[in-house]
Amino acid sequence: MSDLALGLSVPRQGIAFRLLGWSAIAAAVVVGAVGGKYPVVVGVVALALLAAAAGAVARARPIAALNGAFFVILLAATKFRARPATASVAGEIDAQVLFELGLYAVIGLVAVMAASSQSFHRRRLTPAEILLALYSIIAVGSALWSRAPMLTLVKSTQLGILFVLCVVAVRVMEPEGLLHSISGVAIPYVLVCGCLAVVFPWAENQVSTNPGRFSWFYVHPISAASYAAVGLLAVYFWARFGKTPRQRITLLRAFMLALPLVVILLLTRARGPLIATVVAIGLVTIRTRVPRWLIAGVGAAALILLATYVNGGVSWRQWLNSHSGDTVTQFLLRGQDVEDVADFSGRTELWKGATTLFEARPFLGYGYGGARNLLLERLPWAGDAHNGMMQSLLDAGLIGSLPLWAALVWAFSMVLFRDRRRGPADYAQPAAAAFLTFALLNSTTDVGFAEPGYLFALTVVCVLAAERLSNGGARLAAA
């Protein structure tokens, strides 16, 4: 989908197909808005047609179907109507929920059909896949001790579907193509939804707790910023590291795609995704261009300066107060006072409460998503821990979280610290490093990859791609 939708390196005869791709994306978003806001038959008909088309395409053209499945993940995460935070715990089901579950059924169908195609390479589970499979199995099994068993069963099933999809995808596609596809779908999604929000009032940000921040429908500005950031990172790596016609993108096209993504990212005024994006690009750029001895020297100097800064008695709050009149600082403050920002918008209180909950059940947790009601009792706005590590501990405890974090740490060390290689790794390795860096940093102040959704799928793909690259970027035929 990404190549057709974005028009990357395709012949002139493909103009009609590009227009068809953009039209299909716009139609999917509109149908989702109508089906989510009004419980009408159009949603059921659209899902039935989508399932039939996905099943037929997945077996004949599994790569195209997997690209579409990645986009469907984003569509399933789009909230088209307001829903109380306690509704999911109470087990309330409406058109929005049915629409989301139907889309996940389509994703599961694509995974099954792609696994039965001739492009699927059968082999044993790898160590990283075993670790992530353990996490998924424990998440599903946590319904037995969950505080909200039905919610746990639904969310863990979605998690399992996404895990299976990623395992199938890494057996059908090469690492560079897989990273290209899963990151590329964020671009048309963000651009189409952003245009709808600008043109039509019904598509504007409807989240009442976040006035003045750009988003679409009832999608939280942090989520919108995360999707825009992934798209921006994809454009950056296509323009800088793309070696094949599939990956390559001209500087003009890169600028035309990056400009609206940057504008959307800034208009969301989401500090976490913005900082994570800058760090991800900077870290990978330094890693791929700067000699190791210079990195070590600059890193040591930075640590010395930081220690001197801290020992000098200058605090984070004092720094913000001293620069509160700057334009950049005012933009980052979003009208909040320094104390609120230094308190991470109330997250420190939330994390203290989440820590108390974890200490009460450290080994098995409260079930996947089962701690939602307990968090809401402490802070009405906190449906999750707003931290990926803490959320995983609440969901699956130490027993379930250790496999997940072991896979993440190992994959991150592989793509960031191993020697760069020629060939596919020229694109895939820095891309995987950047996306993993973004996912880990972004999840320090948001639930991120700790819940089923696009960021979880992106993280799993990066882990599995890192494992392939650690084996020398072996081709599928030799796997």
For residues 375-387, give the mean pLDDT. 86
Mean pLDDT of the chain: 80
CA angle 243/244/245 to nearest 5° reads 125
Task: Classify residue 476 by its DSSP letter.
Answer: G
Q: Work out the percent of the chain whose per-residue pLDDT is above 70.
A: 69
Amino acid, single-letter form, for residue 81: R
Of residues 418 and 272, more confidence is placed in: 272
Give the distance, in angstroms, between the CA of residue 278 and the centroid of all CA atoms in the same chain. Answer: 16
Structure tokens, 281: 């690009």
More confident call, 45 vs 375: 375
Q: What is the pLDDT of residue 29?
A: 63
Residue with more model confidence, 16 or 427: 427
Report yes or no: 308 and 261 within 8 Å, Cβ to Cβ. Answer: no
Query: By mean pLDDT, which of 138-142, 146-150, 420-424 is the weakest?
Result: 420-424
What pLDDT score was predicted for residue 423?
42
Query: What is the pLDDT, as a whole number, of residue 468?
Result: 86
pLDDT of residue 147: 85
With b meaning 16 or more CB within 10 Å and e meaning fewer, what string describes 378-392? eeeebbbbbbbbbbb
Which tokens hold the place of 206?
Answer: 């409807």
Alpha-carbon distance of 201 to 186, in angstroms, equals: 22
Whether 141 has a pLDDT exceeding 80, the answer reads: yes
Amino acid in the structure at residue 457:
A
Give the model's confidence band at 8: pLDDT under 50 very low, under 70 low, under 90 confident, else very high: very low
**Reported confidence tier of residue 6, pLDDT bands at 50, 70, 90:** very low
H or E element that contains 233: helix 221-241
**Torsion of the alpha carbons at 408, 410, 415 and 421, rounded to the nearest 10:** -150
The residue with greater pLDDT, 346 or 31, is 346
**What is d(CA 437, CA 442) in angstroms, rounded to the nearest whole number?**
8
What pLDDT was estimated at residue 160? 95
Of the listed ranges 3-12, 31-40, 328-337, 341-350, the one predicted with least confidence: 3-12
The pLDDT of 315-335, averaged and rounded, is 62
Sign of CA dihedral 256, 276, 100, 112: positive
Helices (H), 142-220: 149-172, 175-184, 186-199
Through-space distance between the first and last CA atoms of the chain, rounded to whole angstroms = 26
Question: What is the SS3 assignment for 160?
Answer: helix
Cβ pair 455, 403 in contact under 8 A? no
Task: For the chain, give the number of residues.
Answer: 479
Kindly state the average pLDDT of the residues 169-186. 92
Q: What is the pLDDT of residue 11?
A: 47
Per residue in 95-123, pLDDT (tens digit) is 778 788 888 988 998 898 899 888 888 88
What integer pLDDT is reported at residue 424 of this predicted model? 42
Q: What angle do CA 150, 155, 158 make, to 5 degrees?
A: 130
pTM: 0.84
Residue 422 predicted with pLDDT over 50 = no
* Residue bearing the bigger pLDDT, 84 or 173: 173
* Of the ranges 6-10, 87-91, 109-113, 457-461, the best mean pLDDT one: 457-461
For 326-349, write each residue's pLDDT tens digit.
666 666 666 666 667 767 777 888
Please report, for the chain, the start and end positions of each structural domain, with discontinuous segments joined by +.
Answer: 2-478
What percentage of the chain carries pLDDT values higher than 90? 41
**Residue 66: which pLDDT band, with cuts at 50, 70 and 90?**
very high
Within its chain, how far is the Cα of 472 from the centroid?
A: 26
At residue 265 the predicted structure's pLDDT band, cuts being 50, 70 and 90, is: very high
| Reported confidence tier of residue 148, pLDDT bands at 50, 70, 90 | confident
